[in-house]
Chain A
């Protein structure tokens, strides 16, 4: 079965640079979520999209933005990168209806290192 695909798997950037993370949800899933997990931390919710519209927002810095495109893939754009942005970034997708509703399926994550 298809899973959530994230790219790239690893990304190394310098301070003040920009990064773009991509996420391809499971086909026919209507909601996409982004989470950030710092070293030794629990995942923190950043932002979500339902049917390509932003549906909820968490502790996402103003330097970050995200969108979902017509083909349902999503991108997380991060500008003016700081050392503290180094983390694992996860994308997850889910359905809002049906037997598996609310279950979030996570991608393998993008490990961002800011030097």
Chain B
């Protein structure tokens, strides 16, 4: 990826546990978004956090953004087997194009 790293690259947990994924980026951003991708399928938007926001919640998802450290984290609480997917962070500019991180492969075991 040209933008940064996601950590961890792969995460394996049991149902009911929480999953935390981290993302770092290099340039100034307008917003940071998290997307989910099931194997070989399209990307589904999960949540967007703007550069002037520090934390955002949506259902079982919690996203934080630290612009001083150029990092973000995605927390999925009470994970389910259906959460198994690849998760990508993507930074957006005011012009709109997204620059994706390398992604975290999350496996949730029933």
**Contact surface of A with B, Cβ cutoff 8 Å:** 31, 33, 35, 42-45, 48, 50, 55-56, 58, 88, 90, 92, 94, 96, 102-109, 111
Interface contact B40-A104, CB-CB below 8 Å: no
Residue interface bits B87-108, CB-to-A below 8 A is 1, else 0: 0100010011111111100000
Chain A's interface: helix, strand, loop or mixed, by majority?
Answer: strand
B40 to chain A: which residues have CB within 8 Å?
A: 88, 111
Q: Which of A50, A58, A106, A107 has the most CB of B within 10 A?
A: A106
Interface contact B88-A90, CB-CB below 8 Å: no
**Contact surface of B with A, Cβ cutoff 8 Å:** 1-2, 30-31, 33, 35, 40-45, 48, 88, 92, 95-103
Interface contact A33-B98, CB-CB below 8 Å: yes
Chain A: which residue is nearest B88 at the CB level? A42
Chain B: which residue is nearest A42 at the CB level? B100
A35 to chain B: which residues have CB within 8 Å?
A: 98
Interface contact B30-A109, CB-CB below 8 Å: no
B92 to chain A: which residues have CB within 8 Å?
A: 102
Interface contact A96-B96, CB-CB below 8 Å: yes
Known: A42-B101, A43-B43, A109-B41. A104 touches B96 (CB 8 A): yes
Shortest distance in angstroms between A30's beta carbon and chain B's nearest beta carbon? 10
Interface contact A103-B45, CB-CB below 8 Å: yes
Interface contact A108-B41, CB-CB below 8 Å: yes
Pick from B30, B98, B102: contact of A104, CB under 8 Å: B98
Shortest distance in angstroms between A24's beta carbon and chain B's nearest beta carbon? 14
Interface contact A109-B42, CB-CB below 8 Å: yes
Interface contact A58-B97, CB-CB below 8 Å: yes
Q: Which of B1, B41, B95 has the most CB of A within 10 A?
A: B95
Known: A109-B41, A111-B40. A102 touches B97 (CB 8 A): no
A107 to chain B: which residues have CB within 8 Å?
A: 42
